[in-house]
Amino acid sequence: MKIVNAKKIGREAVEKLLTKKSFDEVELSPKIREANKKIFGEDLSAIEIVRRIVSDVRKFGDAAVIDYTKKIDGESSIRNEELEIRNDELEDIEIDSEILSSLKVAAENIRRFHIEQLPKSWITYRGENSLLGQAVIPLERVGVYVPGGTAAYPSSVLMNIIPAKVAGVGEIIMCTPNANKTVLAAAKLAGVDKIFKIGGAQAIAAMAFGTEQIPRVNKIVGPGNIFVTLAKKEVYGHCDIDMLAGPSEILIIADENANPIYAAADLLSQAEHDPLACSILITTSQTLAEKISAQVETQLEKLPRKEIAATSIERNGLIVVAENLDEAIDFANFSAPEHLELLTAEPFALLPKIKNAGAIFLGAYSPEPLGDYLAGPNHVLPTGGTAKFYSVLNVETFLKRTSLISYTKNDLHCAAKDIIRLAEAEGLHAHAEAIRRREEFS
């Protein structure tokens, strides 16, 4: 794993290494480009493909969804042109009892954590009997996207559906291609209302605009590949979205007390996700850096997803040796990682200095996979540096706020002069007249 010394190469050079490509700067591999050329008849960029699919689904509905799904996922992906997985199919699903038991433990932890996030509607009185307030209202229908590529993610099913249920969303639909039994069992456990066996940009467009079989949603959440992410960006405004997420990432801050075996294992836990995943460690110890690098190579050999993890480490793996913990924190805040681990002697002492991170894991016994699966906080997190302005997916993702205003006749009279003065200062005389008319008849 590549090791650089911040003092030797300078701050600017380190920040350049820590700067991640935006999700829309990801280049398609030659293999994917060739496959797309066979489907579309020409070599198109990812955004060109997405815009074509979104436009066709918006115009032609189910016909376009079915056509693209068969072309991309194979003729057998949809039979009889039925997109929805029937309830009786879900009832017949059986999975390993121990896996189901673990899913239930995770689901309960996630539910309890997100209940704590619920905001309340409120009203406050002004003047004699006037009132102002805020109504917190759940969305009517939400669409959840669940990837179906090189790995199945039942944990993502729980993390997206349960907060929506806690928020009180009226209907939750899910789109997932090639769903396996564990994913479907998790969806059933979480309380999904409908599941559609489609994926990619066509699934995002179908949920955003609605088709003959798929209802239109108010918001789309859930992670996906570059085509899914670009499709979410393309439909934003027709519905809301959670965030524009890119490849998974981890950044570890480690002092000389950190266990190199733990640190290497945690770096690889992200690297196995995707060849584009990013694993970074910042330490104050050159000796520890070398031990961790050696451990990564040793542990890598035993991984079933070795090829993926090795590619990720080669492309995006990095160990930075910082002069002190303050510099390490500065680099971490600059990077704004999805997952930030503090493998230091006193992790809570560093916590007030952390400004940008999707989730923070404190101490040697709070590894990132704990958050991925079981602890309860959501694992749908901002990536690619967007933790500087995005939040983790949470209950409020599925809520909207409406202001409440009710003035009495006398309280409006007391406020009339200020309203009229401000309206006329903006040149909006009809606004002023709406107040004057009430003054005339008071």
Over the stretch 267-317, which tens digit does the pLDDT of each residue have?
Answer: 999 999 889 899 999 999 999 999 999 999 999 999 999 999 999 999 999
Span 169-189, average pLDDT:
94
Q: b/e per residue, 312-336, with b = 16+ CB within 10 A?
A: bbeebbbbbbbeebebbbbbbbbbb
- Position 25 scores a pLDDT of 75
Asked whether 254 and 233 are in contact (CB, 8 A), the reply is no
Closest CA to 364 of 251, 254, 249: 254
For residue 353 the two structure tokens come to: 């200095």
Span 133-149, average pLDDT:
93
Flag the least confident range among 145-154, 230-239, 390-399: 145-154
In a domain, 29, yes or no: no
Asked whether 229 and 77 are in contact (CB, 8 A), the reply is no
Same domain, 237 and 367: no
Asked whether 386 and 166 are in contact (CB, 8 A), the reply is no
Of 249, 327, 338, 368, which residue is the catalytic one? 338
Whether 151 shows a pLDDT value over 70: the answer reads no
Same domain, 239 and 92: yes
Same domain, 91 and 234: yes
Task: Determine what percent of the chain is predicted with pLDDT higher than 70.
Answer: 99
In a domain, 77, yes or no: no
In a domain, 46, yes or no: no
Strand blocks (E) in 7-129: 122-126
- Position 92 scores a pLDDT of 84
- Taking only the tens place, the pLDDT of each residue in 162-173 is 999 999 999 999
Span 371-389, average pLDDT:
95
Listing DSSP states for 242-266 in one string gives S----S-EEEEEE-TTS-HHHHHHH
Please state whether beta strands 240-241 and 122-126 pair in parallel, antiparallel, or not at all (unpaired). unpaired
Whether 342 shows a pLDDT value over 80: the answer reads yes
Same domain, 277 and 423: no
Q: b/e per residue, 146-182, with b = 16+ CB within 10 A?
A: bbbeeebbbbbbbbbbbbbbbbebebbbbbbbebeeb
Whether 79 shows a pLDDT value over 90: the answer reads no
- CB atoms < 10 A from the CB of 12, how many? 8
Same domain, 257 and 202: no
- Position 126 scores a pLDDT of 87
Same domain, 142 and 282: no
Q: Is 273 a catalytic residue?
A: no
Same domain, 91 and 235: yes
- Position 13 scores a pLDDT of 95
Same domain, 360 and 252: yes
Same domain, 211 and 154: yes
Same domain, 96 and 238: yes
Q: Is 338 a catalytic residue?
A: yes
Of 114, 273, 339, 379, which residue is the catalytic one? 339
What is the separation, in whole angstroms, between the first and last Cα of the chain?
A: 78
Same domain, 117 and 183: yes
Per the structure, how many domains does the chain have? Answer: 3
In a domain, 356, yes or no: yes
- Taking only the tens place, the pLDDT of each residue in 195-207 is 999 999 999 999 9
Whether 149 shows a pLDDT value over 80: the answer reads no
> pLDDT: is 151 or 206 the higher one?
206
For residue 311 the two structure tokens come to: 């590619």
In a domain, 108, yes or no: yes
Between the CA atoms of 90, 94, 96 and 102, what dihedral angle is there, to the nearest 10 degrees?
A: 30
- Position 369 scores a pLDDT of 96
Domain with 416, as residue range(s), is 408-440
Same domain, 238 and 258: no
In a domain, 435, yes or no: yes
- Taking only the tens place, the pLDDT of each residue in 420-441 is 999 999 999 999 999 999 988 7
In a domain, 82, yes or no: no
| Confidence category of residue 76, pLDDT binned at 50, 70, 90 | confident
Contacts of 306 (CB under 8 A, 6+ apart): 300
- Position 257 scores a pLDDT of 93
- Position 152 scores a pLDDT of 74
- Position 150 scores a pLDDT of 54
> pLDDT: is 314 or 147 the higher one?
314
Residue with tokens 């559906």: 161
In a domain, 306, yes or no: yes
